[in-house]
Structure 1
Amino acid sequence: MANLAKLEFAALEISGDNYLSWVLDAKIHLRANGLGKAIEDGSDASPEEKAKAMIFLRRHIHEALKSEYVVIDEPLVLWKALCERYNHQKTVTLPRARYKWTHLRFQDFKTVSEYNSAMHRITSLMKLCGENISEEDMLEKTEYIPCLKCASAVAI
């Protein structure tokens, strides 16, 4: 009964595996609700805004994290504590995403749409970590798809 209202996005997992996407979602939702100032250094957020932001953040973290950070009552302090705890995810996630990108092969997928979905998932993850994949790199990955090569040969 504790979670009667639906979450706007997935709660932060205790492992931190979803930290990068959680941060993005949390910032977007806080800004959309006019509470973005509550997690910024030197902001002039009102006590009401801070309280609403704190409720929002606590509602979107794992139950174990709630109990670990139970004494924190300021959203900025909680935000920084979670950042300090999980911000290393970029250093873990980026090499994994690079590895997946390097080893992405069309023949490992049953359909073009599965391959395309995997390619976009990997590039999104890399962008989330601050590394962009160019359109040329993406085209180079699709250059070796047999059916696309046939289609381009017929088009010429």
Structure 2
Amino acid sequence: MSQISSLKFWMANLVKLEFAALDLSGDNYLSWVLDAKIHLRANGLGQTIVDENDASPEENAKAMIFLRRHIYEALKNEYVVVDEPLALWKALGERYDHRRMVTLPKARYEWTHLRFRDFKSVSEYNSAMHRITSSMRLCGENISEEDMLEKTLSTFHASNVLLQQQYRHSGFKKYSELVSCLLLAEQNNELLLKNHQSRPTGSSPLPEINAASQEVNATSSRGSIHKRGRGGKRGRWQGSRKDRGARSEGLGPRMGPSTNGKNASRNKGKAQMSHVPRNVESPCHRCGAKGHWPQMAHQKYRVS
């Protein structure tokens, strides 16, 4: 039960941490030392971890609480009898300061084999550059801006010799200026490649969407008209009426006279209606206007 309570207390305490607590293995000791110094100075307690300081008992107590809160629980139990921040600071340094000697050779190895041409993008190379140089600086190794510029320019791909010479003649003084220029060039190259792949060289552009839609609309409208005039029932009825009208006016049938009695009676009625004289004086009994067919013809032959 006590272990569960201590675990809950430790988990609740993790939420209040300003930075990662010091691990028992000491793998994060170098970054922990830097974070602890910054936060102690921000809280006005930076002098508590300095030799021959004049910090008050209250300041030492606050610094001790802060340090113990940012170390692992098992590590805290090992230094439970230490009640001075300076003593705890030195004890942790003696225990984990060898991490500098372990980290520095690895960082030097990575720096030696760091090459710009081995990375797919400028962002990946820039991230690796800052990670390696930060590790070396934490271990006391000084890496200047000139070193970072030379490392980048001297590891270009062999096909980019002219580009590398242009960057050298640009006279960059800071590594960040060179990286900004490389990032801009990378984005422009990606845009140029996308434009080239969208339409190969020598090919004609696609028609505009407005012209294409107009052509489709015109084609569909012609098809609709053709369908109504020839394929639809209404078109066939109108066409047959036109043909019958043409035959009644004496233009002659295409396939000879029809032998159907029904059609013959219709044609006969059409012919009689065409010979009925117009009466311009008598008004129409249906609409009252003059110039229509006579009254009897209008009743007998209805024109639709």
| TM-score under structure 2 length normalisation | 0.48
Q: Which runs of 4 or more aligned residues in structure 1 lie more than 4 Å from their structure 2 counterparts after TM superposition?
A: 147-156
- TM alignment of 1:29-108, pairs within 5 A: 29-108=39-118
Q: For residues 16 and 114 of structure 1, what CA distance do their matches in structure 2 show?
A: 28
Q: For residues 102 and 25 of structure 1, what CA distance do their matches in structure 2 show?
A: 28
Once the 2 structures are TM-superposed, how far is the Cα of residue 151 of structure 1 from its aligned partner? 4.4
Distance change in 2, residues 1:154/1:141 (3 Å) = closer
Q: For residues 141 and 152 of structure 1, what CA distance do their matches in structure 2 show?
A: 12
Q: For residues 130 and 161 of structure 2, what CA distance do their matches in structure 1 show?
A: 20
Distance change in 2, residues 1:58/1:152 (3 Å) = same
Tell whether 2:156 aligns with 1:145: yes
Q: For residues 6 and 111 of structure 1, what CA distance do their matches in structure 2 show?
A: 37
Distance change in 2, residues 1:154/1:75 (3 Å) = closer
Q: For residues 165 and 67 of structure 2, what CA distance do their matches in structure 1 show?
A: 54
What's the secondary structure of 2:33's corresponding residue? helix
Q: Deviations over 1:118-145 (max 9, x none)?
A: 0111011111111112222212221133
| TM-score under structure 1 length normalisation | 0.89
The amino acid of 1:102's aligned partner reads: T
| Matching residue of 2:32 | 22
Once the 2 structures are TM-superposed, how far is the Cα of residue 152 of structure 1 from its aligned partner? 5.0
| Matching residue of 2:19 | 9
Structure 1 vs Structure 2: percent identity of aligned residues?
Answer: 73
Q: For residues 34 and 166 of structure 2, what CA distance do their matches in structure 1 show?
A: 43
What's the secondary structure of 2:142's corresponding residue? coil
| Matching residue of 1:117 | 127
Distance change in 2, residues 1:71/1:154 (3 Å) = closer
Q: For residues 101 and 75 of structure 1, what CA distance do their matches in structure 2 show?
A: 36
- Structure showing greater Rg: 2
Consecutive unaligned residues in structure 2, runs of 5 or more: 1-7, 170-304
Q: Deviations over 1:78-136 (max 9, x none)?
A: 11100110111111111110011011123432211111110111011111111112222
- Choose 31-40 or 105-114, whichever is displaced more: 105-114
Aligned Cα root-mean-square deviation (Å): 2.1
Higher RCO (C-alpha under 8 Å, 6+ residues apart)? 1
Distance change in 2, residues 1:154/1:74 (3 Å) = closer
What's the secondary structure of 2:38's corresponding residue? helix
| Matching residue of 1:128 | 138
Q: Deviations over 1:28-55 (max 9, x none)?
A: 1111101112112221111111111011
